[in-house]
Amino acid sequence: MSASKYLTRIKANINTWNEIRNTSIALNFLTSGYGFTVSFEDYQNWSTNNPTTLNCYFGVDEFELKFYIVDNVTDQNQSYQIGINLLEKEFTRSFNTTATKTNTAFKRVALSCNDQISKSEAEQRILNWMLGAKNWFKDQQQAIKSGSSGLLRLMTIPFEDLSTLFGSSQENVFVLTALNNFDIFGYNLEFILTREIELNEGETQKSGDNELFMDVSQPHPPFSLSSDFNLL
């Protein structure tokens, strides 16, 4: 399939999500997995543009939820390269903690990064999503009747979060669905970023000082939809 046809298919899949995102089918998709992985190679490819955010679009392809992730500079310029700066990610149904590890030594990250949250806070938000997704969806349905913009179409992730995580290790980063109480918009879906190794109970117990959980993603809507979101 040519790049132009593949891009057309990606946009069609994103539009499919838009068409069903405010129906009960959407909840089934959103609770069909736990997250997706980002590799160090992915990070390096995006880094060449010095982006400030990653734009993570929700799409549906053959009854599967997919994520289409691109850095904001590429998205603004529409200079997409499929598989390099525009990536498709599967919504995984299980945690893979057996990935090949690198030999990169751990470097303690300064705690000045405002995007970090504690392990217990991250676990609570993830659990809130797992247990409270249905009630959250009901609240969203009521809000739609009152004129809200409906469920999210994409999530933005500060690129600094990836730089923090990959600055100390080349381990894969796992992006997890969670439920956060946003100051302005109330409870909504968010992404929490951490290393796959931190999902391994044994490793967590042995290396508590290495735990990093990043949490400043924003769902759009309710946050505004920029004209630079060019895959919508």
Distance separating alpha carbons of residues 172 and 99, to the nearest angstrom: 8
Residue 210 pLDDT: 53
- DSSP at 53: E
Distance separating alpha carbons of residues 37 and 214, to the nearest angstrom: 14
Distance separating alpha carbons of residues 26 and 17, to the nearest angstrom: 8
Whether the CB-CB separation of 72 and 55 falls below 8 Å is answered with yes
Q: Give residue for tokens 């349905």.
A: 141
Tens digit of pLDDT per residue, the chain (232 long)?
788 999 999 999 999 999 999 999 999 999 999 999 999 999 999 999 999 999 999 999 999 999 999 999 999 999 999 999 999 999 987 655 444 343 333 233 333 345 677 888 888 999 999 999 999 999 999 999 999 999 999 999 999 999 999 988 898 999 999 998 877 778 899 999 987 544 444 443 333 445 678 767 999 999 999 999 999 9
Instruction: Return all residues near 48 (Cβ < 8 A) that are at least 6 apart.
Output: none
Residue 117 pLDDT: 78
Look up residue 21 and give its amino acid: R
C-alpha torsion 127→171→56→226, nearest 10: 110
Whether the CB-CB separation of 44 and 84 falls below 8 Å is answered with no
Residue 114 pLDDT: 56
Residue 197 pLDDT: 46
pTM across the whole model: 0.86
How far is the CA of 55 from the CAs of 116, 174, 195, in angstroms?
20, 16, 20
Contacts 24+ apart (CB under 8 A), 83-86: 84/45, 85/45, 85/46, 85/49, 86/7, 86/10
